[in-house]
Structure 1
């Protein structure tokens, strides 16, 4: 009998293969129907608004062990980021940013929106590594990711690293919000990419007044 897969371990230096991730309520899943969720958020993504201030993002590390001859999945929760949308009264450097909450988190970072072309209405997003300055405000440093509107109608955004390498394609078919991660990366890098993805979606939803409470197939059950 084939052993069930191990869904995670404590080694943050391991390489994670390409995967398709999707949002369902407060959870981010892989496309493996038998695998438990990979991440948990404190808020249902489809209900995020401009009034929300902090969303907790946790990685769910799963390990399969044998217990009395039967496989048993255990989970360890790791709080990796606080996704933050401060009020304008605090004069934040970034309207949306991610605060690293673990020494194993890649870094804190902020996201900004801009138009790359004067006559285009399409918005690009740039993610910067950030650190606290003398006034305790987050100060942007070198680039981390860029989300570029895709030419392919089936793809909403393409995500690139600081060197211009393609990392993932983001899709939204009104029923399922997905991130097709095409690059191999470590857990810390994927944590940061997932956090940046959720920040971008939150910003868009807040700007457009909500997107119809989509991607929440478990929202009624959870009550979130």
Structure 2
């Protein structure tokens, strides 16, 4: 990611030197998602991040997307640094059981040690003081599931939230507002960062925002009636995962189409 001291709105977020690497201060800015890239303000500005897949157009089959930040070399060329994996778990081990309550549906797994302060985080339902208002917390997770009864990623017991969100606004661990998300059904998504964050906090927030866009896309995806071809495709996928059900299931599916 290019570092600059200019304050023009079209420039990448400004960093101020702090005491330790990864703790540089990133100033407020507006990010927008354009296909697989994340830009400042407009799609024609230099990309700050790149995703391995178009996060707004995924199906529920996808389970992993890579997030990389774009860094500028001295010779003017760019390089991608893989910083996070974004992961979506729908079911428990084997795909035949419900996801345990102590495991996150969406979580982010760090892929670099060169930026101190990055954490593995998962989205967890949280309590809201407003009746009927949903709230979620981004809390540390054990990606290796050492304390999970089924050996999958789970929340670190007793860990404090790093961020919280009501689905529109993000707040830090102290409850201070740090960003606002904007979504629409035309698949236009933006993140307005309203507070100064460390570089590590900024990266984590961007990764969590991408998980939100992923979930938003799935929730608003057009429902498609697949017919018999869809049944056959799902049966083939089931066999690939070790399921050996008889042809009676396919027949039942054909009869119901």
- TM-score category (smaller protein): 0.7 to 0.9
TM-score (norm 1): 0.74
5+ residue gaps, structure 2: 16-20, 94-98, 224-257
Counting helix residues as a fraction of each chain, which structure ranks higher? Answer: 2
2:80 aligned partner: 77
- Listed as ranges, the matches of 1:104-143 within 5 Å are 104=115, 106-113=118-125, 116=128, 120=132, 123-131=134-142, 132=144, 133-135=146-148, 136=151, 137-140=153-156, 141-143=159-161
Q: Which has the higher contact order (CA 8 A, sep 6+)?
A: 1
User: Residue 33 of structure 1: CA displacement?
Assistant: 6.5
Aligned residues: 194
2:203 aligned partner: 191
User: Residue 114 of structure 1: CA displacement?
Assistant: 5.8
Tell which structure's C-alpha radius of gyration is larger: 2
TM-score (norm 2): 0.65
1:161 is aligned to 2:172 = yes
Q: Say whether the 8 Å CA contact 1:85–1:96 is kept in structure 2.
A: yes
5+ residue gaps, structure 1: 66-71, 150-156, 213-224
1:30 is aligned to 2:40 = yes
Counting strand residues as a fraction of each chain, which structure ranks higher? Answer: 1
> What root-mean-square deviation, in Å, do the aligned CA atoms of Structure 1 and Structure 2 show?
3.1
Cα 1:32–1:118, aligned 2, differ >3 Å: closer, same or farther? closer
User: Residue 165 of structure 1: CA displacement?
Assistant: 1.0
How far apart, CA to CA, are the structure 2 residues paired with 1:73 and 1:211?
Answer: 42
1:146 aligned partner: 164
User: Residue 117 of structure 1: CA displacement?
Assistant: 7.1
- Listed as ranges, the matches of 1:44-123 within 5 Å are 44-63=54-73, 65=74, 73-90=76-93, 91=99, 93-103=103-113, 104=115, 106-113=118-125, 116=128, 120=132, 123=134
How far apart, CA to CA, are the structure 2 residues paired with 1:7 and 1:118?
Answer: 36
Task: Point out the more displaced range, 48-57 or 90-99.
Answer: 90-99
